[in-house]
Amino acid sequence: MKPRYNGLQKFIILALVLALSASPMTVFAAGSQSLDSSVVKLRDAMVARQDVVQMYFYSWKDFRKDEAIRDELFYAACSEEYSNAYYTGAYLKSNVKSCEVSTEQISSDPPRWKVTFSNFVYRTTAEQEAEFDARLQEVMAELAIENETEYEKCRAIYDYITSHVTYDREAYQAHLQGDDSGYDLAYTAYSALIGGRAVCQGYATLFYAMCKCAGLNVLMVDGIAQGQDGWGEHAWNMVQIDGYWYQADSTWDSQRSAMGYKYFLQGTDTFKKHRLNLDYTQQSFVSAHIMPVNSYKNSINENPLIQLFKKIKELLLGH
């Protein structure tokens, strides 16, 4: 039976046909994705520890340039914007040591690209990540911090890391000598949690993963820090507590909880031995991540309501 149309339906169909015939149309090749979908594909492939990732997409950016591949694909795939679990974002970026990339422009109007990532070198295997995840879930359950405040969650995580992980000095010395190829695991959260040893990147990655699991907003950051050997490359964290972003260096506070922490939830003026890389000093980043001048402890003490309460307490109690 043929479909029957009334007058109004015929008019709508005719208008659609005329509109389509009058509008320029771009025919997209089969198998092509948007740039956004390609970023997600690359992220998921790296999470699965795949060795080769090939993608076809349309973009007016010139992907023959290294910075386009780096910024628009790899960095994007490891960014917080595309992070959907603790093992993506900065955690994923820290676990990819190197890879090779080839680019081919297939068409020009619009530009269609074929980009292939291959020969990935990951710091951990898929099996190690599964082992890490199982242990991480056990530790988070043991901490039992689901109903705690943001500060209490962060403090419990910091306490755990600084008391369970020791600094891997052998890996650090190998780095200073220019050949740390045999110490890839020392840079991972896996080594910090499972082996109990890591360098700063391993500490920071574990803190990132645990804070993510606890529902805290957290970042891994890097820059330089003034240690016993002078200024050198270093990695640490920023975490959001009560709406503000504070810096925390679990590496430098490792094994010193009994003496009190020196690098926990510090402000910009109380973290003088750490200097963030330029990426974290741009106005776009600073305006989105407000960092107090003082540490969290001092910021709380300077809260006007708390100061008023203290004064009332002094008047009532006489001290």
Could you tell me if 148 and 265 lie in one domain? yes
Could you tell me if 97 and 237 lie in one domain? no
Q: Is residue 274 part of a domain?
A: yes
Beta-carbon contacts of residue 34 (< 8 Å; ≥ 6 apart)? 57, 58
- Using one digit for the tens of pLDDT, what is the confidence trace for 235-284? 999 999 999 999 999 999 998 765 689 999 999 999 999 999 999 999 99
What is the predicted pLDDT for the residue at 297?
A: 84
What is the predicted pLDDT for the residue at 1?
A: 46
Instruction: Please tell me the total count of domains within the chain.
Output: 2
Q: Does the pLDDT value for residue 311 go beyond 80?
A: no
pLDDT tier at 8 (50, 70, 90 boundaries)?
very low
> Across the chain, what does the average pLDDT equal?
87
Q: DSSP labels for the chain?
A: ------HHHHHHHHHHHHHHHHS---PPPTT-B-HHHHHHHHHHHHHTT-S-EEEEEE-SS-TTSHHHIIIIIIHHHTSSTT--STTSHHHHHHHEEEEEEEEEEEEETTEEEEEEEEEEEESS-HHHHHHHHHHHHHHHHHHT-TTS-HHHHHHHHHHHHHHH-EE-HHHHHHHHTT--GGGGGGGSHHIIIIISEE-HHHHHHHHHHHHHHTT--EEEEEEEEEETTEEEEEEEEEEEETTEEEEE-TTTTTT-GGG--SSSSB-GGG-TTEEE-GGGGSHHHHHHS---SS-HHHHHHT-HHHHHHHHHHHHHH--
Query: What percentage of residues in the chain have a pLDDT greater than 70?
Result: 83
Decide which of 122, 152, 178 is a domain's last residue. Answer: 122
Q: Does the pLDDT value for residue 165 go beyond 60?
A: yes
Could you tell me if 237 and 104 lie in one domain? no
Residues shown for the chain: 319
Which token pair is 99? 């890879």
Q: Is residue 18 part of a domain?
A: no
CATH of the domain at 176: 3.10.620.30
Could you tell me if 117 and 143 lie in one domain? no
pLDDT tier at 305 (50, 70, 90 boundaries)?
low
Could you tell me if 60 and 148 lie in one domain? no
Phi then psi dihedrals of residue 225, to 5 deg = -140, 150
Could you tell me if 196 and 139 lie in one domain? yes
Could you tell me if 197 and 265 lie in one domain? yes
pLDDT tier at 11 (50, 70, 90 boundaries)?
very low
- Using one digit for the tens of pLDDT, what is the confidence trace for 13-69? 334 333 333 433 334 455 678 999 999 999 999 999 999 999 999 999 999 999 999
What is the predicted pLDDT for the residue at 256?
A: 78
Q: Is residue 21 part of a domain?
A: no
Could you tell me if 109 and 67 lie in one domain? yes
Between 62-66, 231-235, 304-308, 309-313, the lowest mean confidence (pLDDT) is in 304-308
Phi then psi dihedrals of residue 299, to 5 deg = -65, -40
Q: Is 59 exposed, middle or buried (0-12, 13-18, 19+ CB in 10 A)?
A: middle
Could you tell me if 116 and 168 lie in one domain? no
What is the predicted pLDDT for the residue at 227?
A: 84
What is the predicted pLDDT for the residue at 24?
A: 37
- Using one digit for the tens of pLDDT, what is the confidence trace for 78-116? 999 999 999 999 999 999 999 999 999 999 988 999 999
Mean pLDDT across 195-218? 98
Query: What percentage of residues in the chain have a pLDDT greater than 90?
Result: 75
Q: Is residue 298 part of a domain?
A: no
Decide which of 122, 141, 163 is a domain's last residue. Answer: 122
Q: Is residue 70 part of a domain?
A: yes
Q: Is residue 142 part of a domain?
A: yes
Could you tell me if 69 and 198 lie in one domain? no
- Using one digit for the tens of pLDDT, what is the confidence trace for 279-297? 999 999 999 999 999 999 8
Domain, as residue range, for 104? 35-122
Could you tell me if 140 and 116 lie in one domain? no
What is the predicted pLDDT for the residue at 23?
A: 37
Q: Is residue 305 part of a domain?
A: no
Which token pair is 284? 């776009």
Which token pair is 218? 């957290």
Could you tell me if 136 and 212 lie in one domain? yes
Q: How far apart are the C-alpha atoms of 128 and 22, rounded to whole Å?
A: 57
Q: How far apart are the C-alpha atoms of 217 and 222, rounded to whole Å?
A: 17
Q: Is residue 234 part of a domain?
A: yes
* CA dihedral sign of residues 263, 218, 81, 184: positive
Decide which of 71, 96, 122 is a domain's last residue. Answer: 122
pLDDT tier at 152 (50, 70, 90 boundaries)?
very high
Contact 291, 268 (CB under 8 A): yes
